[in-house]
Structure 1
Amino acid sequence: MSLFGERRVAAIIPARGGSTSVPRKNIRPLGEKPLVAWSIEVAQAVEAIDQAVVSTDDEAIAEAARQYGGAVAQRPADLATDDALVIDAVRYHLRGWHEEGRSVGVVVLLEPTCPLRRPKDVRACLRRLAEEEIDSVATFTDAALNPHRAWRMENGRPRSFVENAVPWRPRQELPEAYQLNGGAYAFFADRLPEDSIAPLFGRTGAVYMPEERSVDIDTEMDLQLANLLVEEGLAGG
């Protein structure tokens, strides 16, 4: 029995061609395969997901997606710019599928830039979505910088970012802090607000992922780190 009954579950993998920080990022090699392939293979390994769909404006990315068994959904150029929101591309595809008579009930959003996630991370998100009274769920990891140690500058003078914070306190005494890692989002498609700018909305849930599976590839150094973790077998089980 499916987690979601008759609802179709689609994994959407947003992979536009115009990356500036890491040119051609989504087809750059990580290990022995292009970056986008890692998300496709994770989606294929999760039993509850009916189809993995790569949303792209780029033919080279589309070809790489097909090579690894992913379906391809073309998105228009205006939804593939630096300023475009991923959630707007998701809405575009959901509307198109609905008009074609193959509506999606649950969306799993897998960003290629967090390639070291595991199927178990995605399964945990889907279990929470299916079993709890929530609308959306996302993966988190430990914050790279605790907000109590962050600063703002006002006219060249440092001020604590969190009012009355004491950044000198030992790490163990600071409140726990987490950040989204882009590993996975899952949500009910018909509950996505039209004005939402994010895939985490309504009643929300969280799934924790460790640091070694949460590398976010935004720079060349991030890509080198991810390759090192893969080569050394340190990406976590």
Structure 2
Amino acid sequence: MSKVLFIIPARGGSKGIPHKNIKELCGKPLITYSIDVARQIVSDENICVSTDDDEIIRMVESYGLSVGFKRPDYLSTDQAGTNGVLLHALDFYEKQGHFFDVLILLQPTSPFRKVIHLKEALALYDSSIDMVVSVKEAATNPYYNSFEEGKEGLLTVSKGDGKIERRQDAPKVWEFNGSIYVINPTSLKEKGLSGFTRIKKYEMDDIHSVDLDTMFDWKIAELMLKEKMVE
């Protein structure tokens, strides 16, 4: 079986939802939803919470998960990218002699992913590809009713020939839902996330693809849980 490292990034600063990573969603700190699902796949030694925030560290460790390091400030700014965060975490473990065949990035803002989603996405991965990424059908299809501003401020069709009149006739397109990233560590070190070209999709439904960026998203997620739309 492949040796898997789960990385859960949890920066302290959050503008859309203050302190969102440890804010309680229906009685549970948000980050614990991701910790719980990772624990159904691997032991705690293979779960890494990467954070710059002492309060998040205290909360995670009170939940029984040891936090091996505090993320440096240069990887905790608004401009810092996920690529650097992943490489920093991977380097931390490799310097201790722990090497992994697969990295799985779980963003805390996707609390509704289930263990079955992780297992199915992982089953699609092999070392010949760069990444398996979870997606959902795009809410806005660029081949239908999507426009760009052209010359003289006039709208032009974004994609296609402009002759598609019904959404169901447009090519199906997907968008990342932010939930699951199954990453080849060799590809990450050699090419970085932006250099990935061999990417497989793992499609999820809209309900399990909920991503929390704003307080509106948060209220919707609370309602979904209270109405038992998700378990």
* Aligned equivalent of 1:113: 109
Distance 1:173 1:137 in 2: 27
Which 5+ residue runs of structure 1 have no aligned equivalent? Answer: none
The one of 159, 162, 179 aligned to 1:162: 159
* Aligned equivalent of 1:189: 185
8 A contact 1:136–1:204 mirrored in 2 = yes
Distance 2:25 2:72 in 1: 27
**1:158 aligned partner, one-letter code:** L
**CA RMSD, 1 decimal:** 2.1
SS at match of 1:224: helix
User: CA 1:189/1:71 → structure 2, altered by over 3 Å: closer, same or farther?
Assistant: farther
8 A contact 2:129–2:184 mirrored in 1 = no
TM-score w.r.t. structure 1 length? 0.88
* Aligned equivalent of 2:18: 23
**2:158 aligned partner, one-letter code:** F
8 A contact 1:114–1:214 mirrored in 2 = yes
Deviation at 1:190, TM superposition (A): 2.2
TM-score w.r.t. structure 2 length? 0.90
* Aligned equivalent of 1:93: 89
**Any idea what the Cα deviations from partners look like across 1:17-48, whole Å, max 9, x if unmatched?**
11112111111121211111110001001258
The one of 55, 69, 73 aligned to 1:60: 55
The one of 218, 221, 225 aligned to 2:213: 218
8 A contact 2:87–2:189 mirrored in 1 = no
How many aligned residue pairs are there? 228
**Any idea what the Cα deviations from partners look like across 1:98-145, whole Å, max 9, x if unmatched?**
112122321110011111111111111111114x74332111111121
SS at match of 1:11: strand
Distance 1:197 1:189 in 2: 10
The one of 69, 77, 82 aligned to 1:81: 77
**1:45 aligned partner, one-letter code:** Q
User: Percent identity between the aligned chains?
Assistant: 32
The one of 46, 54, 67 aligned to 1:51: 46
Distance 2:221 2:21 in 1: 14
**Which moves more between the two structures, 107-116 or 150-159?**
150-159
